[in-house]
Structure 1
Amino acid sequence: MSDDRIIDFNDLKNKVKDSDVDKFEQYIYNLYFSVMDGSLTMAEFSRKIFDYMQENKISQEKFMNIQKKFMERYGMDSEEVERQLKNFGIDSSSAGFGNIDINNMTNEKIESIKNSAGFYEKYGHKIQPKSCITTFVKNDINDIEIVIDQEKVMLYSNKKISLMDAELNEFLLGYKNMFNKKIRVVLCENYSEYDY
């Protein structure tokens, strides 16, 4: 007896048809336009995606496959997107949707997701996503975390920051020369931190 006669129902269940992608595409566009006209927040957008998965009984694996097919329609290489996310330190297999099986979620997990969405619904209008660069200067003079947000450079240290540090000055001058104009340097020294 041959193994090719064995049917893997998981493969069948997670197989994506063009009609699945069409339906998802229409749903996403409707949500997108609702966000654009202000009738839907980003938190509600995320919640609607979970609702879509639950209502259509879509497994996590199938949802990921639908997303990949959707991206391919518009000429995006899903593997390249994953590589770029990993370069930013984001592993799609362990972040966000990657580790959620919507069909086997406990009420506790669903409540946790709703709480997260509730936070963004309440404070989302005050929050602005930013892409920052982080580096460090650690030597005999300073132990500094440097956070760069375009023309603003923030220096964080739990000690007094010495601006006489040649390594720090070389870094700041090099960054300033990229813009060919002034940059704003913010000192956050002698800070305290605690777990809440």
Structure 2
Amino acid sequence: MPATRDRSRPPRPGPRSPIRRRGSCSASTADTCRATTCRSAAHATKSLLAIELQDNPSDTTALVPVIRRVQQNCVAAGLTGDVAAWLADSGYASTANFAELADLPLLVSITKEYEQTRVTTPPGHNVPGGHREMAARLASAEGRKLYARRGALVEPGFAQMFQRFGRRVHHRGTAAVDTEIKLLGAVHNLNKIFRHDARTRTS
């Protein structure tokens, strides 16, 4: 009889993979035995324009794929307006990225976040050659004003998802985890829409 009761119970869920935050534009998920990285791009409304799971933990190799995914998602959604500025922290800075995305209004910090947002003196003569044009953009009044908004745009998305869904995913395997985080991202966006509609009706 005890054996029959044990078999009738629903199966116990396996261990859930943790989501660890590792940077201002990214968080990490442990996928079974190897590390993968979750990165997102957020709109000024703090809605997610893209959320991606990537095998490579390097931020520099993620910037172009994430931006291309945002562009694809915007086309698919019928959003034709130009993006006013693409903001990313210093982990995404590389000469190759700046060259490939030269046609975009890109602002990527080339120094530590505190120095970029708080220190009034621009980087000195030690700026690498391939970063000097970006340094000039960031040193301008408009560049500093735009970049100062970066943390307030991307950080709340992860914080709100962690608060609502926890820091662990329920599935294992890259494909399953990627599907799960995209579902969570969609729920996050739907919540934004519902809350906006509710405020509109009551105003």
Please, what TM-score do these two structures have when normalized by structure 1? Answer: 0.27
Report the structure number with the largest CA radius of gyration: 1
Higher helix share: 1
Higher strand share: 2
